[in-house]
Amino acid sequence: MTIVACSTPPGTSGIAVVRISGKDAIKNVSNFIKDCPFNEKSPGSKICLLVDKDGLIFDEAVVTSYLGPNSYTGENLVEVSCHGNPNIISKIIDLSVGGGASLAEPGEFTKRAFLNGRLDLSEAESVSAIIHSKSIAGVKAGVKNLKGGLSKKIGLIKSDLVSVVANLEFNLDISEEDLQPNLIKNSKGALSKSVETLKSCVDAFNETRMFQLGASVVILGPPNAGKSTLFNLLVNKNQSIVTEIEGTTRDVVEKNINIDGLPILLKDTAGIRESNNRVEKIGVERSLAEEKNADLVIYLNNAGRSFSKDKYIHVFNKSDINTPDGDYDVIISAKTGDNIQKLKETIYKALINEDIEHDTFLTSKRQCIAVESALKHVKDALSLLLGGDSLELIVEDINRSIDFLDSITSKTTKDDVLDEVFSSFCVGK
Ligand SMILES: Nc1nc2c(ncn2[C@@H]2O[C@H](COP(=O)(O)OP(=O)(O)OP(=O)(O)O)[C@@H](O)[C@H]2O)c(=O)[nH]1
Ligand SMILES: [Mg+2]
């Protein structure tokens, strides 16, 4: 079946790209390209006139045709780069559909690339990661995977595990005294190494997620602590209302910022206190809900509260007029801007653990769950090995973990997994 969609965002633009993919793609576009210069033998790029059914010219476009399997989708593919007028775009799509094409589902071009063996599943997922990343670091992670970075790393772990299984299986029917020398020691070494590598993939996932989707950072604290003043300073805009009246902020005020390339959704909240005012009470409830879901909480001026270390930064504000009443991580003045650079560094460090090796990135939750499951089975195998259990059981656990690793890149994957992966794409990709 031939499919068609606009691959560029909706609306008016200098240029828009409509893609048509499928066996009949070239025949399909000849319906609306005047004197179509393409055929199954001559792909390439040409300036063409686009005509409607009456032969009237409605645009001039650069048209590129690719012959399968040498195209993004692995099948015949035509890209029409027309002027970015929504009327022109829908005209092209209408004429293509009139010529027998169907409208593409979200992600259908990439799904075809996967089904035609042009990409493995982790590479296809990286396309979505590249499109949706909120930072250049997230994009780089995606590009690395698109070039097979993750598949390669997973492949190496897998081949280590496969060789352990092969050696163990070779010794299955042999009595304990006659086992290959060093079999147990070497297997332990290989399994421990796999545990470490898989663990580092999982540890890095949370941070990759932050570079791709952004971290949620919430400013919390008692009324009048200077939360909105700090918020305005960090977003570089007078966005949140500041007054000396306690209980000024009620709604959660949000803005995207960027600290050292890390995308952050910063949130200013209502000051936390007991209140009889109905509106303020709702504001406080919202603050507490934000606290729960945050990746990081900047807690202002409340030395009395104890916090779990990894999610909270304890900040003393108004250092220009007061001295700290307890132990704080950072001491600032939101009014004068004093020590704000240190606060930004502290925020970054709290979100990103620089000790973690960032050479491999998992770019989807699905990949992370698969790696976690593989890790669990390798750990189980290792403890069985250490406990002197039967080799059969150990082999079974290792095989399960290999299955999970296979599911990350697999070329033959169940339909429901495929649907989940590709439904997150946009139409036209
Ligand atoms: N001297 C001084 N005053 C500050 C500082 N930060 C904020 N203020 C003042 O403190 C008052 C309260 O500031 P806000 O930013 O509105 O405080 P808030 O925490 O958002 O208060 P609520 O929204 O009511 O919870 C204002 O008069 C600010 O000008 C600071 O670092 N130094
Ligand atoms: Mg406020």
Residues of the chain with CATH 3.30.1360.120: 3-115
Residues of the chain with CATH 3.40.50.300: 214-351
What is the atom index within ligand 1 of the atom nearest the CA of 249? 23
CATH of domain 127-210+364-410: 1.20.120.430
Q: What percent of the chain has pLDDT over 90?
A: 65
Average per-residue pLDDT for the chain: 90
Pocket test for ligand 1, best of 219, 220, 224 (most atoms within 8 A of CB): 224
212 — pLDDT class (breaks 50, 70, 90): confident
Q: What angle do CA 200, 205, 208 make, to 5 degrees?
A: 125
Q: Select from 116, 118, 90 the least CA-distant residue to 32.
A: 90
Q: Please state the CATH superfamily assignment of the domain spanning residues 3-115 in this structure.
A: Probable tRNA modification gtpase trme; domain 1 (3.30.1360.120)
Q: How far apart are CA 3 and CA 72, in angstroms?
A: 14
Q: Choose the most confident range, by mean pLDDT, from 39-43, 199-203, 235-239.
A: 235-239
Q: How far apart are CA 225 and CA 243, in angstroms?
A: 11
Distance 261 CA to ligand 1 centre (A): 28
Q: Which phi and psi angles does 60 have, rounded to 5°?
A: -115, 135
Residues of the chain with CATH 1.20.120.430: 127-210+364-410
305 — pLDDT class (breaks 50, 70, 90): low
What is the atom index within ligand 1 of the atom nearest the CA of 242? 16
Say if residues 361 and 149 touch (Cβ distance below 8 Å): yes
Distance 327 CA to ligand 2 centre (A): 23
User: Average pLDDT of 165-173?
Assistant: 82
The pLDDT value recorded for residue 145 is 80
CATH of domain 214-351: 3.40.50.300
Which tokens is 46 given? Answer: 């040409």
0.75 exceeded by pTM: no
Minimal-distance CA residue to ligand 1 atom 27:
244
What is the atom index within ligand 1 of the atom nearest the CA of 247? 24
The pLDDT value recorded for residue 228 is 98
Pocket test for ligand 1, best of 242, 268, 336 (most atoms within 8 A of CB): 242
What pLDDT digit, counting tens, does each position of 349-383 carry? 888 876 655 566 788 888 999 999 999 999 999 99
Q: Which phi and psi angles does 5 have, rounded to 5°?
A: -165, 160
Distance 324 CA to ligand 1 centre (A): 16
